[in-house]
Copies of this chain bind each other. A is one copy, B any other.
């Protein structure tokens, strides 16, 4: 950090003393190392050349040594009345201060000085406050209308007296912000009983303006881009600014094998940070996934948490957000369109015609674009002059020769549209008979979503996008997005989506919402970038809580083996969410089905079922221990749970090696209901833990799959279909053998059979097929069939959703 702590600025206000005395005083202050700046608050007549020249430039707060006062004050100063703040907003990222540059600033300062005001030069400030990005405009008293102009520009106006404070506090603030507790104003909660609907709770709370929250947590004004009042994207430059700062503690929320209703990992995640931040006063951040918009109108509720543990405003969280999924859709579908169009163009043109079109002569010049040169390099053609390629090289260059039967890249929409699960495309006569079967997936299933979640920056994202393999050519070699010439355009479409979105919890603590890849065909975790930024922002003593999709056997395993490998981040604690309901199911309770009322086993005390069901909890604790992590079991309490049931689970959990086990009541009580969990997490985070990965990437693909199946799922062995085996062979041949494994398995059982609850043993895990997301960087074996496009039920949620055109409020959303 280049800014100094506690700048001292001395104001020289001795109008009645002689020039001699003034100069003496100035020279003395010049040499005082504890004085960082001088301000000459003198009548214009006292500002002789000798006085001005006696100020050393290092301490020249006024910038007066640069100003030829006489000339400027005699000159036409009308230009000075142009509101200057607007100019300086463009100067750059460091210092924003009154005046534009050079003569305009000097003229304005001279004018203010003439009017008895005091100014500060941008030069001095920039030297002394290199990291300052807040706009400061200084003047006192009000200079006849100028301030009014500035007020209109939207600048922060600070008077001279305030400035001294501000200069000092800004520099201290910049150096200390990420090392200290935030001044986050908690939003007060007054939970009602019975608990109202999620949207009613969300709407009853007024969030802080997002700029306010951003400042509270130490973000600089230039580091955020607001999207309306309640959301802001945070720039990646933050990571550069705070790169020397230590990371905070890193907490993963995972769950036991859930019922189809879900067991509340998201609410625990949000409740936990509400407790840490708003109740214990600890810097803390939740990093959550952006939900797909499709299910919002189908059968699923929102994904912003629930009850009194939510991200707000929940409707903005669940709809559009800041457009990231829309950007993914656009990028995904551009790539898809490029594949089919290319096949058509190659099939209907000669090598020469293709070459003339791909490398046209424009204004007499013919040259390759950078992305074409990259392709030539991959083809080992070391030429840059298009006229020198041999016919064979031309043919290799222009023909991707895609084998349509090998295309794995699908189109996407962020809508539950079951009729697009299997379609035939290209049936218009303009496509000349090049029809083929294809499908649409839901947008979050796009590999580009997985890339967004795993990338650590723009350069890395560009590379991953280029590496996407969309098909094989007829020789069995992979064809990439870069081969299609489209990867730069994909990066352009994704350039804003890469920035995490800042929102807040119901209690006013910060949340990053970023990425939401599928938890089966992808890894189901929110983004590496959001976690990294949050860890820097909370500082060494702070906490970042993130969530892994599905049960711990899937979400947590992928979190460690895929996400942590990509990020290099090591978590400190695992929170394992369990419900009495799910435990009873594992203990032999009747089936739990969405939309059907629960049987009495679930609504009345039944310690036997609970005790038996804890086998699943024990197994999931053991899985976390495989990775070397301490585990806190968090029981997400429902109204019908009894104290005896809860106590029993806590007892068994601790007996099974959990660091602690506590009940959580965040849904009904907000952060106050999760304080016990927060305290346990804080204690556990201070224990020493070391992450160990489950397998070495250099192991053969099949061995990696077997390791996960046996150690995590408890399978006896695995069995690959011939198709799966041939895919494994192909990927190894193509050079993709060293990637981590992303299992696509049901989350409703540790095994591949959803109906087998508890801890199934002795099963052979069948691997039906193996696929690859090369850009994202993993191989995904398919255990059974995975639906990548949900449908709409007979009565979708949308029947209840409406917009009140007077209040602009949404009704009926969750």
Contact = CB atoms under 8 A, between A and B. Distances in A.
Interface centre among A336, A411, A801 (most CB of B within 10 A): A801
Contacts of A149: 183
A338 B414 contact: no
A141 B161 contact: yes
Contacts of A430: 418, 421, 791
19 contacts: A86-B212, A89-B209, A89-B212, A90-B207, A142-B162, A152-B215, A159-B159, A226-B228, A228-B233, A228-B496, A326-B330, A330-B415, A336-B415, A341-B796, A371-B799, A422-B426, A458-B808, A489-B798, A492-B810
A23 interface: no
Interface in A490-529: 491-493, 495-496
A185 B417 contact: no
A330 to B, nearest CB: 6
Contacts of A408: none
Contacts of A803: 458, 462, 488, 491-492, 495
Question: Which residue, A152, A315, A327, A811, has most C-beta atoms of chain B within 10 A?
Answer: A152
Contacts of A326: 320, 323, 326, 329-330
Given A341-B792, A462-B803, A803-B491, A327 B334 contact: no
B330 A414 contact: yes
Contact of A185 (B86, B414, B488, B491): B86
B802 A492 contact: yes
A27 interface: no
A22 to B, nearest CB: 26
B423 A425 contact: yes
A116 interface: no
A417 B489 CA distance: 15
Contacts of A370: 802
Interface stretch (A44-52, A352-360, A668-676): A352-360
A549 interface: no
Interface string A478-490: 0000000110110
Given A154-B212, A338-B798, A419-B431, A297 B791 contact: no
Contacts of A209: 86, 89, 154
A685 B319 CA distance: 44
A488 B802 contact: yes
A60 interface: no
Nearest to A141: B161
B458 A297 contact: no
A158 B157 CA distance: 7
Given A83-B185, A90-B206, A330-B415, A148 B161 contact: no
Nearest to A233: B228
A417 B423 CA distance: 15
A212 B798 contact: no
Given A417-B333, A792-B341, A185 B427 contact: no
Contact of A225 (B228, B369, B496): B228
A428 interface: yes
B340 A419 contact: yes
A457 interface: yes
A341 B418 contact: yes
Interface string A399-439: 00000000000010111111111111111101100100101
Nearest to A315: B492
A137 to B, nearest CB: 11
A556 B459 CA distance: 47
A760 to B, nearest CB: 27
Nearest to A398: B794
A540 interface: no
A457 B147 CA distance: 37
Contacts of A297: 334, 486, 489
A625 to B, nearest CB: 40
Nearest to A459: B805
A165 B371 CA distance: 59
A163 B341 CA distance: 63
A151 interface: yes
A369 to B, nearest CB: 5
A680 to B, nearest CB: 29
Given A142-B161, A341-B418, A341-B792, 5 more contacts: A151-B166, A152-B173, A225-B227, A344-B418, A488-B802
A608 to B, nearest CB: 29
Interface string A663-687: 0000000000000000000000000
A134 B152 CA distance: 9
A791 B162 CA distance: 60
A153 interface: yes
Contacts of A427: 421-424, 437
A349 B801 CA distance: 24
Interface string A780-814: 00000000000111111111111101101011110
B485 A799 contact: yes
A389 interface: no
B488 A801 contact: yes
Nearest to A206: B90
A85 interface: yes
A645 interface: no
Contacts of A802: 370-371, 462, 488-489, 491-492
A598 interface: no
A216 interface: yes
- Of listed A315, A459, A492, residue having the most chain B CB within 10 A: A492
Contacts of A181: none
A423 B423 contact: yes
A35 interface: no
A93 to B, nearest CB: 11
Contacts of A423: 423-427
Contacts of A797: 489
A445 to B, nearest CB: 15
Interface in A549-571: none
B156 A151 contact: yes
